Amino acid sequence: MDRWTDKWAFEQNREAPQMSTTTKTTVPVGVKGYLDNVIGNSKDHKFHMTVNGKDILLTPVKFHEEQKLGAGKSAMAVDMKGVVGKVYEIDFVTSGGVVTEGKIRKINGKAL
């Protein structure tokens, strides 16, 4: 586990997210596991999102409470800071623990 994961788990007074295993493949569970996997495999250790054709480099700073949507789906907002200082609130939707969607909902606290 990386320093960021340990720090987040400590700040949230929770254990770090669990991973599910299937036939020699480790699959991240939930939004936190998804972001840890993507950021950990990125050369610059940032989450990349394309906005208006531009690559935005992001770092998670706050995880909001998970919202149950029903039918095995849930959503979680994550505040992520860009390298130029803007804060993006991104809503991630999961189905069965797997991230299926991510949309920017706010930039610097202003709804889009």
Q: Evaluate whether residue 14 is within a structural domain.
A: yes
Does any domain span residue 112? no
The Cα-based distances of 85 to 20, 26, 57, 68, 76 in angstroms read 35, 33, 11, 31, 22
| Residue 51 pLDDT | 84
64 within some domain: yes
Q: How many domains does the chain have?
A: 1
Model pTM score:
0.73
Tell me the average pLDDT of the chain.
82
Per-residue confidence (pLDDT) for residue 67, from 0 to 100: 94
Neighbours of 38 (CB within 10 A): 15
pLDDT of residue 5: 44
Q: Is 16 part of any domain?
A: yes
CB contact at 8 A, 107 and 87: yes
The secondary structure element, H or E, covering residue 111 is strand 110-111
Comparison of pLDDT for 66 and 27, the residue scoring more: 66
Task: State which residues form the domain around 45.
Answer: 3-107
In tens, the pLDDT along 36-59 reads 999 999 999 999 999 889 999 999
Lowest mean pLDDT across 11-25, 52-66, 87-101: 11-25
**Euclidean distance between CA atoms 16 and 5, whole angstroms:** 7
